[in-house]
Structure 1
Amino acid sequence: MVKIVKRVALGLVVLIVAGVAALIGTVYYQGRQRPSGNPVYVALGSSFAAGLGLEGRAPGSPLACQRSLNGYPQRLARAAGLPLVDMSCSGSTAAQVKEGGQFFQGPQVAAVAPATRYVTLTAGGNDVSYIGDLVGMAYRNRGGLLGLMGKLMHAPHASSERDFKKVEADIRGAIAAARNRAPAARIVVVSYPPALPEHGTCAALGLTADQVALMRPVAETLAGVTRAAAREGGAQVVDMAVIGKGHDACSSEPWVNGAAPRQGAPFHPTLKGTEATARLVARAFGLNPVS
C-alpha cells in the first residue's frame, strides 16, 4: 500500500513538473516570436490597453498578455479599418514598453516601423503598483482565501513614496523610441480612466474611505506625469483621467470596474470604457468614429 501511495505521489509530482515546464516553454516560445502584420497602427501598453478580462482573446496573441479583442486598440482598429499590430500586454511597465523583458518579450516599441502612421500608448500604472494595490487592499477587506492572498501582497505606499519621476522618464523614452522609428507617425498617449470617485467610496470598490484617500493621489499623480511626458515628447494626450470623471466604479455608467466585477478584471476597463476610449482616440486621430 505504501509503495502504491509513493508511486501515485511521484506520478503527481512528475505531472506537475511537466505541466510547469510546458507552460514556461509556451510562454517563452510565444514571447520570442516577432510581431507580424502590417504596422499601420501599433498599440503599446499595459492591461488597460490590452483589455484584461474582457471577451475574446486576440488571435495569435501571447497567452500571458491576456490581450482581448475588446481592448480599445482592437475596437478602434476594427471601426476605422486600420491594420493593427497590437503589442499591449497585461502587466507591462512603461520601461518594458521601451526596453522589453516581460514574459521573454522584446521591446513593444520594436513593432513600430517607418510605415506606421498611428501609435497609442497606455502605461505607467504597473510601474507604481496602482492597480495592484487597489486589488490587494480590496482582497484583504474581503477575508477568506482572497483576504489571505491580499495579505501576502506588499502594503501600499503613499503617493510620495512611489517613483513617479522614473515613470515619466520611461513614458517619455517610449514616445521618443516610437518617434525615432516612425517620424511621420501620430502618437497618442492615453491616460488611465479613473476607478475611484472624486469623493468618498462605495460598495463596488470594496475599499474603505481611508484606503481610497490613500490611493486617489496615486491616480492623480500618475495622470499628471503621463500628461507631462506626452507634452515633453511631442505626443497628443487623450486624457481619460479627466474625460472619465463621473464614470468611475461607483457611477451609474462605470468605465472601470470595481473589486468584484461580473465581467472583466477588478479595477480595469469595462466594455463601455474601452468603447469610449476607442471613440475618443479615433477622434484625436481624425478617423471615423467608433460605433
Structure 2
Amino acid sequence: MTRPQPGAFYVALGSSFAAGLGLGPRAPNSPIVSQRSQNGYPQQLARLLKVPSFTDMTSSGATLRQVLKGGQFHLGPQVDALGPDTRLVTLTAGGNDVKYIGDLVALAYRNRGGVIGFLVKRFWKGPKPIDERGFPALRNDFDATLAEIARRSPKAQVVVATYPTVLPVDAGCPRLGLTGDQANMMRPVSDALAETTRAAAGAAGAMLVDMATLSVGHDVCSAVPWVNGPYPDKRAGTAFHPTLVGARATADAIRERLRAHEGQWFVEAFTSQR
C-alpha cells in the first residue's frame, strides 16, 4: 500500500462509523487493519457526488488523536491526505476516544454469556462513569483536528457528522441485548458524544450534519434501524455499527445539506475541478 498523494478533491477522515466496518468488500488498496469497506458513507457519498478525485482515510478503531497524529497500527496521520486543493472534507470520530461502542458491545456479550461472556465478566470491570471518559480531552482533540484541517485545506468545505442514534429514546427491546438500566447508563455517553461533536463543529465554523438527531426513530429497536444490534447477520455489518441503509442515510444527508445550504460553494467547487 502506497502513501496517498495529498490534495484529492474529497478527503474522508474518521473511525469505523465512517469506514463502513462490515459493509461489504474492503476498499481497494486500503490497509487491512482499517477494515474500510466500499460501502461506508464516504464511499457512497463520493459516488453520489461523482467527485473528480477521492481519498478515503477512515480507519476502524481510530481515535481523533490518531486522525491528527497517526499511530494506529503504525498508520500515519489521516490528515496527511489533505492538501490546498482539497474542497470537501468529512469527519466522523470520537466514539473510540470515550469507549462508547466498545462498552455497548462488552455489555451485550456479558449479558449473553457463553465463553466470551464469561471472559468479559472475568476481566472487564464495567463501563466507567461519564466523568471519567475524557470528554474534555475529546473536545481538545476535536478543536486541534479541525484547526489542522483548516490549515491544510483552507478552501475546503468541512463537514462533521455525528454518530447516528444507537439506543432508543426510552425503554429497549430484546434486539438491543441490554437491560433497561444498562441502556439508561449509556445514553448520557451517547448524548455527551453528540453534544461535544456539535460544539466543536460550531466553534470551528464547520458544517454539522447531525445524524444523532436525524436518525431518531431509526435506532436498533426501530422498524427500520440504521444501526445494528449486538448480533447482526454477517452480511449486515457489525455490532452497534451502521447498517448499509444507515450509511446511505448519512451520505444522503450530507449531499442534501451541501446542496441546500452551500449551493454556491457546490457549484464553484465542482466547476473549478472540471
Compute the TM-score of the two structures, normalised by the length of structure 1: 0.86
Give matches, 1:184-203, under 5 Å.
Answer: 184-203=155-174
Structure 1 consecutive aligned stretches of length 4 or more whose deviation exceeds 4 Å: none
State the 1:36 CA deviation: 4.1
1:113 aligns with 2:87: no
1:267 to 214, 224, 240: 240
SS at match of 1:138: helix
1:156 aligns with 2:157: no
1:226 aligns with 2:197: yes
Structure 2: state its 5+ residue gaps: 260-265, 268-274
1:211 to 161, 182, 189: 182
1:47-73: per-residue Cα shift (whole Å, max 9, x none)?
000000111110000000000111000
Q: RCO higher in 1 or 2 (8 Å CA, sep ≥ 6)? A: 2
1:22-79: per-residue Cα shift (whole Å, max 9, x none)?
xxxxxxxx5xx41248611000000000000111110000000000111000000011
1:131 to 101, 106, 120: 101
Q: Which amino acid aligns with 2:249?
A: A
Partner of 2:4: 35
Once residues 188 and 88 of structure 1 are traced to their aligned partners in structure 2, the CA distance between those partners, rounded to angstroms, is 14
Partner of 1:16: none
1:167 aligns with 2:167: no
State the 1:258 CA deviation: 0.6
Worse-superposed segment, 127-136 or 146-155: 146-155
Root mean square deviation, CA, Å: 1.4
SS at match of 1:249: coil
Q: How many residues align?
A: 257
Give matches, 1:236-251, under 5 Å.
Answer: 236-251=207-222
SS at match of 2:178: coil
Once residues 221 and 244 of structure 1 are traced to their aligned partners in structure 2, the CA distance between those partners, rounded to angstroms, is 16
Structure 1: state its 5+ residue gaps: 1-29
State the 1:154 CA deviation: 4.3
Partner of 1:89: 59
Once residues 184 and 241 of structure 2 are traced to their aligned partners in structure 1, the CA distance between those partners, rounded to angstroms, is 19
Instruction: Tell me if structure 1 keeps the 8 A contact 2:7–2:84.
Output: no
Once residues 214 and 100 of structure 1 are traced to their aligned partners in structure 2, the CA distance between those partners, rounded to angstroms, is 31
SS at match of 2:182: helix
SS at match of 1:121: strand
Once residues 128 and 21 of structure 2 are traced to their aligned partners in structure 1, the CA distance between those partners, rounded to angstroms, is 25
Partner of 1:22: none
State the 1:149 CA deviation: 3.8
State the 1:171 CA deviation: 1.2
State the 1:157 CA deviation: 1.2
1:239-288: per-residue Cα shift (whole Å, max 9, x none)?
00111100000000001111111110000000110000000111222269
1:46 to 15, 21, 31: 15
Partner of 2:262: none
Instruction: Tell me if structure 1 keeps the 8 A contact 2:14–2:62.
Output: yes
Q: Which amino acid aligns with 2:228?
A: N
Give matches, 1:69-84, under 5 Å.
Answer: 69-82=38-51, 83-84=53-54
Instruction: Tell me if structure 2 keeps the 8 A contact 1:140–1:148.
Output: yes
